Amino acid sequence: MQIPQRLQNLFTFYRDGFKNMTVGKTLWIIILIKLFIMFVILKTFFFPNYLNTNFNNDESKANHVRQELINKSN
């Protein structure tokens, strides 16, 4: 499959830009570490799966979500 020339130019533009970054690489590493901490570590310890712990089957989970959405809209 042939890659269109515009997409190839766009890819090489970003690839060369990220290769030549110095401060930007450090900032991206910090951003990725923060995202990892927020989504992996904090989620597992501070945000338990409420539906799986309080409801046994999919139907009761769906009923709970439906009731919560209806109650919030009123």
pLDDT in tens, 19-62: 888 888 889 899 999 999 988 888 888 877 888 889 999 999 99
Residue linked to tokens 């269109």: 4
Q: What are the structure tokens assigned to 45, written together?
A: 């310890």
What is the enclosing helix (H) or strand (E) of 64? helix 58-73
Task: Round to whole Å and give the CA distance between 36 and 26.
Answer: 15
The domain ranges of the chain are 5-73
CA distances 70 to 29, 48, 50, 57, 62, Å, are: 42, 23, 18, 20, 12
pLDDT higher than threshold 80 for residue 74: no
Q: What local confidence, expressed as pLDDT, does residue 1 receive?
A: 60
